[in-house]
């Protein structure tokens, strides 16, 4: 079931890598002995079985996508060298690969003369963007929507920055009236526009935020950790399409290759439109090892050591699947979105369910119809568990009743939020599995209903 065919390519690639060092004198590396190694590897495989099958299309819950075989293999290959992309001395080849791969990502947003690099993930990338924002707008507030990723508030706390949330509209996007009112009070340095919220995939109205910037002059940070790659997708709705078309006008962008970019964890990316922010990173540590005149990634990054392997994996993946509209990678994203729309249509047409709003990207949220929102919440959890017993893995989320208002009908509103089911259909394969997913979901719902009667 796990993709193992590509493993056969590994030995040959490792041999090729080794041949690059053939002139060195032979040495005997410490070996643990094959039988001990086999034993511990077997034990590791056994421990790893205790996981949800994230790689399988029936895993349709959280934002998890298996790395591409090219990424897995390139990452593993680089492990034999274990380069450190802090500086060229630690990772010459992979630093160059990082610069190329990151330039391709920036190219998706129309940026050529930018500053950016890879980092541990979306949280680190957002931390860096807000750290830069705060230095450029000291003592001014960071504002994000109440559906922005929870780490923005936490990051602001870590950086000791004043942070405020603004309300969302009924579709989970930043409410523009609320933002405009907030602007009238002044004191806002940076607005975080979430280009695909974690819970529902809602896209903040960037066009309108940009219009407000013209009037108030704040910075815009686009948190596109999850949604950024949809800039390549050609099957978005009009509003999302318009927002993504303007993303290059943000001051900074975060995008996570370890979400939609087919990379193993530990791969986020932060980009700044103005290269000049590089001056904010200046340091002259006596023990760091900048031994060449060329720009080291460590000079433009908050973190010190960073895995060169992550850059090798990303570079290899993008070489195989270039980040182009209409290309194979973009078609994969479009398939996930189509799957989400297909599942949404089924839910909409079925009496047993209530939906919030149509997916803007590839996340669907839904709940069982019930007499009250509290009963629907209890049922959601029961369906979540019943589905898992059928090998269908969904997620649960807690969303404001306001998101559902238009579709609740006579359902009693006895809670401010609804515990609902959430499905991120982010694998291209999901499109071929919608019928199976629907069949298993139906069985789970029936099982819960029968158990209650």
Residue ranges in contact with ligand PLP by CB under 6 A: 63, 121-123, 126, 149, 151, 194, 198, 223, 225-226, 256, 268
Closer residue to ligand PLP, CB minimum distance, 97 or 127: 127
Three-state DSSP class for residue 354: strand
Q: Which of 418, 245, 427, 445 is nearest to 346 (CA)?
A: 445
Element (H, E) at 40: helix 34-48
Closer residue to ligand PLP, CB minimum distance, 85 or 263: 263
Q: Report which DSSP code applies to 374.
A: H
Element (H, E) at 355: strand 353-355
As a whole number of angstroms, the distance between CA 130 and CA 219 comes to 10
Q: Report which DSSP code applies to 157.
A: H
Closer residue to ligand PLP, CB minimum distance, 196 or 368: 196
At residue 259's C-alpha, the angle toward residues 256 and 262, to 5°, is 105
Closer residue to ligand PLP, CB minimum distance, 198 or 317: 198
Q: Which of 227, 221, 231 is nearest to 106 (CA)?
A: 231
Q: How many other CB atoms are there within 10 angstroms of residue 50's CB atom?
A: 6
Q: Which of 344, 372, 364 is nearest to 421 (CA)?
A: 364
Q: Report which DSSP code applies to 277.
A: G
Three-state DSSP class for residue 237: coil
Contact 365, 399 (CB under 8 A): yes
Q: Kindly give, in sequence order, each residue whose CB lies less than 8 Å from that of residue 219, ignoring residues fewer than 6 positions away.
A: 133, 136, 137, 189, 190, 191, 251, 252
Closer residue to ligand PLP, CB minimum distance, 174 or 411: 174
Contact 366, 420 (CB under 8 A): yes
Closer residue to ligand PLP, CB minimum distance, 270 or 312: 270
Q: How many other CB atoms are there within 10 angstroms of residue 295's CB atom?
A: 14
Minimum Å gap between C-beta 156 and ligand PLP is 13
Q: Using alpha carbons, list the distances in angstroms from residue 354 to 69, 167, 449.
A: 38, 23, 16
Minimum Å gap between C-beta 198 and ligand PLP is 3
Rg (CA), the chain: 24
Contact 104, 38 (CB under 8 A): no
As a whole number of angstroms, the distance between CA 207 and CA 242 comes to 7
Minimum Å gap between C-beta 195 and ligand PLP is 8
Residue closest to ligand PLP when measured from CB atoms: 122
Minimum Å gap between C-beta 192 and ligand PLP is 9
Closer residue to ligand PLP, CB minimum distance, 198 or 380: 198
Q: Which of 266, 189, 233 is nearest to 340 (CA)?
A: 233
As a whole number of angstroms, the distance between CA 234 and CA 338 comes to 11
Closer residue to ligand PLP, CB minimum distance, 69 or 227: 227
Tokens of 151: 């780490």
Minimum Å gap between C-beta 81 and ligand PLP is 25
Minimum Å gap between C-beta 226 and ligand PLP is 4
As a whole number of angstroms, the distance between CA 108 and CA 126 comes to 19
Closer residue to ligand PLP, CB minimum distance, 175 or 204: 204
């Amino acid at each position: 079931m796990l993709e193992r065919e590509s493993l056969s390519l590994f030995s040959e690639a490792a041999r090729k890598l080794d041949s690059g060092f053939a002139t060195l004198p032979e040495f005997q590396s410490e070996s643990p002995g094959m039988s001990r190694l086999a034993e511990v590897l077997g034990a590791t495989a056994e421990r790893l079985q205790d996981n949800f099958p994230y790689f399988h299309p029936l895993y349709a819950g959280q934002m998890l996508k298996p790395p591409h075989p090219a990424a897995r293999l390139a990452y593993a290959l680089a492990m034999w060298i274990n380069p450190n992309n802090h500086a060229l001395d630690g990772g010459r080849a992979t630093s160059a690969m990082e610069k190329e791969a990151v330039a391709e990502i920036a190219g998706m947003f129309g940026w050529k003369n930018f500053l950016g690099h890879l980092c541990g993930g979306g949280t680190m990338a957002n931390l860096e963007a807000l750290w830069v924002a705060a230095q450029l707008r000291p003592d001014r507030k960071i504002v994000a929507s109440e559906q922005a990723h929870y780490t923005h508030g936490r990051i602001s706390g870590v950086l000791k920055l004043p942070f405020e949330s603004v309300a969302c509209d009924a579709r989970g996007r930043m409410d523009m009236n609320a933002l405009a009112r907030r602007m009238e009070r002044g004191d806002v340095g940076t607005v975080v526009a979430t280009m695909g919220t974690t819970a529902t995939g809602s896209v903040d109205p960037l066009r309108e935020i940009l219009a407000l910037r013209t009037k108030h002059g704040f910075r815009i940070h686009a948190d596109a950790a999850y949604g950024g790659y949809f800039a390549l997708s050609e099957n978005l709705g009009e509003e999302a399409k318009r927002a993504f078309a303007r993303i290059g006008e943000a001051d900074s962008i975060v995008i996570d290759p370890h979400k939609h970019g087919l990379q193993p964890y530990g791969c986020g990316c932060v980009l700044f439109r103005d290269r000049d922010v590089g001056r904010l990173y200046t340091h002259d540590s006596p023990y760091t090892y900048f031994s060449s005149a060329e720009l080291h990634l460590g000079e433009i990054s908050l973190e010190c050591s960073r895995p060169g392997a992550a850059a090798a994996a990303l570079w290899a993946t993008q070489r195989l699947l270039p980040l182009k509209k209409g290309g194979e990678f973009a078609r994969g994203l479009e398939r996930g979105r189509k799957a989400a729309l297909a599942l949404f249509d089924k839910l909409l047409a079925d009496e047993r369910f209530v939906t919030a709003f149509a997916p803007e990207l590839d996340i669907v949220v839904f709940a069982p119809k019930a007499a009250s929102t509290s009963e629907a919440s209890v049922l959601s959890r029961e369906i979540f568990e019943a589905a898992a017993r059928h090998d269908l893995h969904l997620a649960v989320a807690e969303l404001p009743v306001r998101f559902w208002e238009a579709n609740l009908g006579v359902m009693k509103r006895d809670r401010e939020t609804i515990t609902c089911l959430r499905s991120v259909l982010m694998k291209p394969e999901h499109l071929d599995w919608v019928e199976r997913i629907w069949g298993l979901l139906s069985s789970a719902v029936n099982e819960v209903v029968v158990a209650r009667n």
